[in-house]
Chains A and B, each alone.
Chain A
Amino acid sequence: MYTQALNQQPESAPREADNAEAAARFQARIDAEERIEANDWMPEAYRRTLTRQISQHAHSEIVGMLPEGNWITRAPSLRRKAALLAKVQDECGHGLYLYAAAETLGTSREELVDQLLSGRAKYSSIFNYPTLTWADMGAIGWLVDGAAIMNQIPLCRCSYGPYARAMIRVCKEESFHQRQGYEIMLTLCRGNAEQKAMAQDALNRFWWPCLMMFGPPDTQSQHSDMSMRWKIKRFSNDELRQKFINATVPQAEILGLTLPDPELKQIDGVWHHGPIDWDEFHRVIAGGGPCNRERLAARRRAHDEGAWVREAAAAFAAKRAPKNQTEKQAA
């Protein structure tokens, strides 16, 4: 993605008035399926919406490393450990692609990271749940990454070019995540009774939070209408949730596991789920989930403990800079 060096020189471009003519031209480009690029004119609200969405997405990838990082040192085999390590490294990469896409809209990386660390920015509610057993690594890969893929595939066609391109890269890498998770579940389900019970327990704990990942129901969603018009979103929260359930039910059957929803039933080929506890969702988003404080504390600690590295690298670069220039002049 093409990124402007926004944190080096303060934004000097005059803020264009959101005049009706420019807005109409912009919407016409969107309607014609053109991609909007970083330097193109865009309504301020489009810029704000995307900055919020892309940076929240980036924060989710970064915080998302923590629940799985919890099990790297305790993976049951070298094969599992190498795969989990690679997956967590990918999540970090995805966070960085996304921060770079968000930065093209005019907010610096440092500001975005600060929004996360100060608690002003949100991230996906799912990462505020604890990972209690090894089976959670299976459930996360299978369900959390499965839900993320459902969300992310339509984003590859998002109207904002840098975001769409970042998502193409992310989606290419994500499929390994889901498959390795499903393989963990399958291995546990084919193991002894205790191992299968562990897989069922992980599914029981992660199922409902995964359905919440798609966001509030369409009747309550605040941001959907404009996002659809701007082609940031292509499907509604409920549509994506439904697709996810339809894809997941047969996968659970193959594992021989039961989805923890007694009301789940198929009518004319479509699975209907029982009521989702939206109070829990709002509580977790607002900071009241089981691990919110722990997650933010871990990010802050990592940021603080890395400060000396950033300072040393900056000092070294500064020391070398004049020398490089002298060499060039001499040459």
Chain B
Amino acid sequence: MPTPNTPIWEVFIRSRNGLAHKHVGSLHAADATLALQAARDLYTRRGEGLSIWVVPTASITASDPQDREMLFEPTASKPYRHPTFYEIPDEVGHM
């Protein structure tokens, strides 16, 4: 019987205390325990991490690059969401 294809996992690593887990890459593993073990061997050989998350790639829903304009363009027309939009006299100082 041929071995079924091994699932893909995305690997996230917290590099330092206080920082968020950041995506570092992916790997193949049969289950979560083996994925964690492989992530440790593959992505933390030089003290890169304090904590690892592994997520089955199939569970990730990504936005479609073709929807980029529809999704993100509207924010370009809303400068009033940024602090520099508002005029404050210099004598007020830092606000």
Residue of A nearest to B62 (CB): A39
In the assembled complex, the Cα of A3 lies from the Cα of B34 at a distance in Å of 18
Q: A100 near B27 (CB under 8 angstroms)?
A: yes
Q: A90 near B30 (CB under 8 angstroms)?
A: no
In the assembled complex, the Cα of A169 lies from the Cα of B10 at a distance in Å of 16
**Inter-chain contacts of B4 with A (CB < 8 A):** 314
B57 interface contact, C-beta 8 A? yes
A40 interface contact, C-beta 8 A? yes
B64 interface contact, C-beta 8 A? yes
Min CB–CB distance B68 → chain A (angstroms): 10
**Inter-chain contacts of B34 with A (CB < 8 A):** 313
B15 interface contact, C-beta 8 A? no
A252 interface contact, C-beta 8 A? no
A5 interface contact, C-beta 8 A? yes
**Inter-chain contacts of B6 with A (CB < 8 A):** 7, 109-110, 310, 313-314
Some 18 contacts from A to B, beta carbons below 8 A apart, are: A2-B10, A2-B23, A2-B26, A2-B62, A5-B7, A5-B57, A5-B58, A6-B8, A7-B5, A8-B58, A39-B62, A86-B45, A97-B42, A100-B25, A310-B3, A310-B6, A313-B31, A314-B6
**Inter-chain contacts of A97 with B (CB < 8 A):** 25, 42
Min CB–CB distance B54 → chain A (angstroms): 13
In the assembled complex, the Cα of A37 lies from the Cα of B63 at a distance in Å of 12
Q: A317 near B31 (CB under 8 angstroms)?
A: yes
Interface residues of A in 302-329 (CB under 8 A from B): 307, 310-311, 313-314, 316-317, 320
In the assembled complex, the Cα of A40 lies from the Cα of B64 at a distance in Å of 9
A1 interface contact, C-beta 8 A? yes
Q: B31 near A39 (CB under 8 angstroms)?
A: no
Q: A93 near B42 (CB under 8 angstroms)?
A: yes
In the assembled complex, the Cα of A244 lies from the Cα of B58 at a distance in Å of 43
Interface residues of B in 44-86 (CB under 8 A from A): 45-46, 56-58, 62, 64-65
Min CB–CB distance A51 → chain B (angstroms): 16
In-complex Cβ contact of B26 among A1, A8, A37, A320 (8 A): A1
B14 interface contact, C-beta 8 A? no
What interface size band does chain B fall in?
20 to 34
Number of A-B residue pairs at CB separation under 8 A = 76
Interface residues of A in 20-63 (CB under 8 A from B): 37, 39-41
In-complex Cβ contact of B30 among A100, A173, A317 (8 A): A317
In the assembled complex, the Cα of A192 lies from the Cα of B27 at a distance in Å of 47
- Residue numbers of A with Cβ under 8 A of B are 1-9, 37, 39-41, 86, 89-90, 93, 96-97, 100, 103, 108-110, 166, 169, 173, 307, 310-311, 313-314, 316-317, 320
In-complex Cβ contact of B5 among A1, A8, A320 (8 A): A8
Min CB–CB distance A109 → chain B (angstroms): 6
**Inter-chain contacts of A4 with B (CB < 8 A):** 8, 57
**Inter-chain contacts of B31 with A (CB < 8 A):** 313, 316-317, 320
B28 interface contact, C-beta 8 A? yes
Min CB–CB distance B91 → chain A (angstroms): 44
Mask of B1-43 contacts with A, CB within 8 angstroms, 1/0:
1011111101000000000000101111111001000000110
Min CB–CB distance B21 → chain A (angstroms): 15
In the assembled complex, the Cα of A139 lies from the Cα of B46 at a distance in Å of 25
Min CB–CB distance B59 → chain A (angstroms): 9
Residue of B nearest to A308 (CB): B3
Query: Known contacts A100-B25, A110-B5, A310-B6; is A93 also within 8 Å of B45 by CB?
Result: yes
